[in-house]
Chains A and B, each alone.
Chain A
Amino acid sequence: MNEYRRLMVNGLWRDNPALVQMLGLCPMLAVTQSLVTALALGVTTLVVLTASNVVVSATRGALHPATRLPSQILIIATFVSLADLILQAWYFELHQRIGLFVALIVTNCTLLGRAETFASRQPVAAAALDGLMMGLGFLWVLLAMGAVREVIGRGTLFARFDLLLGPWAQSMSLQINEDGFLLAVLPPGAFLTLGCIIALKNMLFPQERR
């Protein structure tokens, strides 16, 4: 039980892929302009990460050490392609916005990192939990950044959730401010927001600073 507890704490906080390991920054900075795109890419990454962890762990006995890395990349790339097709088929308009970064999940080092350092040496259940927790750790940072940047940059929150949930979600959009501070949705705003979140974390928990 302690082992599982440790996996949860590591993924969500202590070894958080976005805040501590600083992996997958490219898609993270690009899709956090709004909450809906951050949620969509975060969930896609979570699903792909968990699924690839499970398969990598399940096939770890059958694979020759020399071909382990190419096999892992193959597994991750397959799940990303499947996710990409599913998004195109059922969430087409959303895919128009985040499509480029869905394909880039393959190059998100979090996935290969977890496959190689964890899933390829651990039983399926532990690998699944690790993927889930690392994915959730990535997701909550994406959501925090998406929310902050949308509120500051556009003055809205939950805008365009109909892309994800269907027409009824149009009423979810909140107008918090009349105007936005444009910098927040531009690329530099992504770095500033991430920097502020990391600084806040280091300030509140100085003993964890690396």
Chain B
Amino acid sequence: MNGPVWTGVKSLGARSGSLMAMCMICGTLMSGLFVVTRERIENNQHEYAMNALREVSGNPDADLAEMADLNSASNRVGDRYRIIDDRGGHIYTIDTNDGYNGRIVLWLALDDRRNIRGIRVREHRETPGIGDIIDHRVSSWLDQFIDRSGVNPGSVGWQLRIDGGEFDHVTGATITTRAVTRAVLRGLATAQEQGNEQGNDRATEEAANE
């Protein structure tokens, strides 16, 4: 009786033993390389996020203060980054659900007078070849907003031409471009509210002096 039971225990030990040894070797290898590459990967992530933010700001040499976790380069709405150069201002993360297919997340860079420095799409699922003209790698449609602000043009002008406003729409992608245009206007309003609350940027000071 004892024989078979003992054999069973022994082979179970041999089985789990070899697998455990394997796990330990593999685990050691992976954690070893993880430790070696960790700093490098974090630097890469940081640099990647910074470059993306600099591109939005329109100034390739701008410094950016981390008002949120830059490593994640996240798409959380409300994340803000302060741009440190002579134009100043912030980069805001905004979004809209009015697009043709799901959420569109944008980065909106404003200077300290709340004029638009640049806009980039962070995330979208619009139709390739049609709605993706909002992607700056595909077309420069977004550049028409540069130097505009919440009061330039006025509220009537802050629409697509097809709706009676001043901004070019794109045939076939009216829904997408309308959604982005409205999101940008909303973003400008939010930025103004935040600026008024904090009362520390140049646009708010000037308004108070008048």
Contacts and interface: CB of A to CB of B under 8 A. Distances in A.
Interface in B1-54: 11, 14-16, 18-19, 22-23, 26, 29-30, 33-34, 37, 40-41, 44-45, 48
A84 B18 CA distance: 26
A182 B129 contact: yes
Looking at chain B's contact residues, the main secondary structure is helix
Contact of A67 (B18, B34, B45): B18
Given A82-B30, A182-B129, A92 B19 contact: no
A59 B45 CA distance: 37
A107 interface: no
A78 B30 contact: yes
Interface residues of A, number: 25
B172 interface: no
B11 A89 contact: no
A166 interface: no
A71 B48 contact: no
A96 B49 CA distance: 12
Contacts of A70: 19
B41 A89 contact: yes
Contacts of B22: 59, 63, 71, 74-75
B183 to A, nearest CB: 25
Contacts of A63: 18, 22
Interface in B60-79: none
B19 A86 contact: no
Contact of A64 (B11, B23, B34): B11
A159 B99 CA distance: 30
Pick the most buried of A66, A86, A89: most chain B CB atoms within 10 A of its CB.
A89
A88 interface: yes
Given A66-B15, A96-B48, A78 B40 contact: no
Contacts, number: 57
Nearest to A180: B129
Interface in A102-158: none
A149 B37 CA distance: 34
Interface string A55-78: 000010011101100110011011
A81 B44 contact: no
Contacts of A185: 128
A96 B122 CA distance: 14
Contacts of B16: 67
Contacts of B41: 85, 88-89, 92
B37 A78 contact: no
A81 B45 contact: no
B44 A67 contact: no
B35 to A, nearest CB: 10
Given A88-B37, A89-B37, A92-B48, A78 B18 contact: no
Interface string B131-156: 00000000000000000000000000
B23 A62 contact: no
A86 B128 contact: no
B29 A78 contact: yes
Given A64-B11, A67-B16, A96-B48, 19 more contacts: A59-B22, A64-B15, A64-B18, A64-B19, A66-B15, A67-B18, A74-B26, A78-B30, A81-B30, A85-B30, A85-B34, A86-B33, A86-B37, A88-B41, A89-B40, A89-B44, A92-B41, A92-B45, A186-B128
